[in-house]
Structure 1
Amino acid sequence: MKSKAPRNRTLCLSDAEQKSLLKKIISLNQKNKLEEVINRTICQDIFDASLYLPENFVDLMIVDPPYNLQKNFNGKTFNRLDDDDYNAWVDAWISRIKSVLKEDASLYFCADWATSVAMYPVLKKHFKVRNRITWEREKGRGAKSNWKNSCEDIWFCTVSDDYYFNVEAVKLKRKVIAPYRTEEGKPKDWEDKGSERFRLTHPSNIWTDITIPFWSMPENTDHPTQKPEKLIAKLILASSKENDVVFDPFLGSGTTSVVAKKLNRQFLGIEVEPEYCCLAEKRLALADLDSSIQGYSDGVFWERNTLSEQAKKKNHPPQTPEDLALLEKQMTLL
């Protein structure tokens, strides 16, 4: 395991941990019943694994595929394709996994701006496209001859017109800058909590309250395209109920499965890279010690840079080096 700076909380794997966690990971070579795969991590190529999945069991699918960019995933390189070839690749795996979806299932597809353009025609062919969310990544490389690329898209789709959406579960808590009052002196469309003045607002398709994982956050890993737990939590809370099945066919380091577990959903993830599968399993174990989600507390999403009450919650203590040491010891004993 690499040595880290004292405040660097990026999750890493020791050799002993990886050896132990590999035992928890499965691959498929025959048709499986739901109870044989639920709440598991499948280490396999999506085209192979899709042949053996049960049918009509997924309530919500969250997909974060390789974008149409050249990117190195732990030694495996995804090479940029022309739009038609990328379009065909997306169509191929969607066609394979459509059968896992329930008739009232919802789907979210992540993309950067260029991938989004290529992906849309395929999504429109297979599903009902409801909306496109754009979220701000506060990081991004500057460019001398172009605009800095600091946002990504998420396409919201459904299988049919019968689908679940809970807007109350994803309202955003915003600070009130101009606290208007009624003639009687009562707050108008906001709440007065002494030093705290805020209102709950309906979520839009522009998200500026997301912080991407970085080295001082306990959810951070070395995966190059890891999505924030807060972002995935919004999708899960809006489009699934407790005990629903959340499926991610490009699991990466496990964010979708981890957030689903923290929010009392069932989950299934497929990831081709063994080390990322092990990171997912480690994070799932850590979720038993700490089920908090940064930026989400007491059923409310907090605006970026506002005080989060979750830091005060005694039942969700922050992940400590002692927690990690205990977990690592437990892994070596498995």
Structure 2
Amino acid sequence: MKNKRVATRNKTIFLSDDELKKFSKKLIKLNNKAELSDILNKTICQDLFTVLDYLPDAFVDLLIVDPPYNLNKSFNSIKFKEQSIFDYSEWIEKFIIKLKRTLKPTASIYFCGDWHTSISIPLALEKHFIIRNRITWEREKGRGAKSNWKNSSEDIWFCTVSNKYTFNVDAVKLMKKVIAPYRDENGKPKDWSDSLNGKYRLTHPSNIWTDISIPFWSMPENTIHPTQKPEKLIAKIILASSNENDIILDPFLGSGTTSVVAKKLGRNYVGIEKDKYFAALAEKRLYLADENKKIQGFEYGVFWERNTKPFPLE
């Protein structure tokens, strides 16, 4: 992939030819059954179906799956073709069956898709896991369509292996502006607080996420991957459904967002990515995460609405 000339203020992460060589050396390949120590906090650069039989058993606390959606799309060296709803579901099940043995009995699974892909996803997942919810998040980007409703949302299916699983609700509350600041009989704020920046309330997380910003050229996390997930979105999943030092697996790593956020939040990670450029890009982002652990939109241990200015919490 050739690098493009970018404006001075453009913070998009690229790889130079020298960086591609440097970070490619950190990638690993599996040819035999691996021990956990062989793959922990590593990026495996191979086709998923080649690797699946070599992964250890029951080592994953949290599985985040963001596969190519069911549409015609190019991912650098990889091309994906749209399939029928049932064929796509069968394709999902082929790798889910093998990933299942890597999961701990207490593991959680988050599976990403767009509106069309989401028709197929539960057909496969319900055979193997307990489907607990469908998160819909606002993906506000693009100028819209002339003959259809603009696609500005995506889904994330939340599943668990069993009825015993991690969910840290207090870690993923959202700080929202108060529209109706009610007060009690003594005139004191009722479930909200006042600040120099306005009136705010910490609210429980719902399955509708409207506080996510899609990475763009002026954001330090932005890459040239065509379907990059925001770090804030992945942070919500990781904080809710894992604990420090847990192990998170992403079998379609892309440019590395899951591994990067896991590292920033004190978790272990294993990423699998077929494309060498994107796998090396993930390693560069992991290197940069040593110096900058900030996650945009997650400040002072709290998630904030878009277009708000975070302030220290007392």
TM range (shorter): over 0.9
The TM-score normalised by the length of structure 1 is 0.91
Identity level (%): 64
The correspondence for 1:260, drawn from 259, 262, 270, is 262
d(CA) in 1 for partners of 2:86, 2:119: 11
Are the counterparts in 2 of residues 296 and 302 from structure 1 also a CA contact under 8 Å?
A: yes
The correspondence for 1:192, drawn from 186, 194, 211, is 194
Deviations 1:270-293 (A, max 9, x none): 000000001100000110110010
Deviations 1:232-272 (A, max 9, x none): 00000000000000110000000000000000000000000
For residues 164-175 of structure 1, what are the structure 2 equivalents within 5 Å?
164-175=166-177
Match in the other structure for 1:325: none
d(CA) in 2 for partners of 1:142, 1:2: 26
SS in 2 for 1:155: strand
d(CA) in 2 for partners of 1:232, 1:55: 24
The correspondence for 2:112, drawn from 110, 113, 121, is 110
The correspondence for 2:183, drawn from 173, 181, 184, is 181
Deviations 1:176-206 (A, max 9, x none): 1222222222111101224432100001101
Q: Does 1:300 align with 2:285?
A: no
SS in 2 for 1:163: coil
Match in the other structure for 2:10: 8
d(CA) in 2 for partners of 1:121, 1:71: 22
Q: Does 1:129 align with 2:128?
A: no
Match in the other structure for 1:329: none
Change (3 A) 1:85 1:126: same
d(CA) in 1 for partners of 2:311, 2:58: 39
For residues 39-50 of structure 1, what are the structure 2 equivalents within 5 Å?
39-50=41-52
d(CA) in 1 for partners of 2:311, 2:11: 21
For residues 23-34 of structure 1, what are the structure 2 equivalents within 5 Å?
23-34=25-36
Q: Structure 2: which 5+ runs fail to align?
A: none
d(CA) in 1 for partners of 2:198, 2:246: 35
For residues 1-334 of structure 1, what are the structure 2 equivalents within 5 Å?
1-309=3-311
Give the partner amino acid of 2:145.
A
Give the partner amino acid of 1:202.
H
Are the counterparts in 2 of residues 141 and 149 from structure 1 also a CA contact under 8 Å?
A: no
Q: Structure 1: which 5+ runs fail to align?
A: 311-334
d(CA) in 1 for partners of 2:165, 2:289: 29
Deviations 1:17-52 (A, max 9, x none): 000111100010011110111000000011111111
> How far has the Cα of 1:87 moved from its partner?
1.2
SS in 2 for 1:125: coil
d(CA) in 2 for partners of 1:151, 1:237: 22
CA RMSD in angstroms, aligned pairs only: 1.1
Are the counterparts in 1 of residues 77 and 275 from structure 2 also a CA contact under 8 Å?
A: no
How many residues end up aligned between the 2 structures?
310
d(CA) in 1 for partners of 2:118, 2:4: 36
> How far has the Cα of 1:298 moved from its partner?
1.2
SS in 2 for 1:13: coil
d(CA) in 2 for partners of 1:180, 1:272: 53
Are the counterparts in 2 of residues 254 and 283 from structure 1 also a CA contact under 8 Å?
A: yes
d(CA) in 1 for partners of 2:266, 2:289: 11
Are the counterparts in 2 of residues 173 and 303 from structure 1 also a CA contact under 8 Å?
A: yes
Give the partner amino acid of 1:167.
V
d(CA) in 2 for partners of 1:85, 1:195: 51
d(CA) in 2 for partners of 1:302, 1:265: 22
- Of Structure 1 and Structure 2, which has the larger fraction of its residues in helix? 1
> How far has the Cα of 1:85 moved from its partner?
1.4
SS in 1 for 2:199: strand
Are the counterparts in 1 of residues 106 and 160 from structure 2 also a CA contact under 8 Å?
A: yes
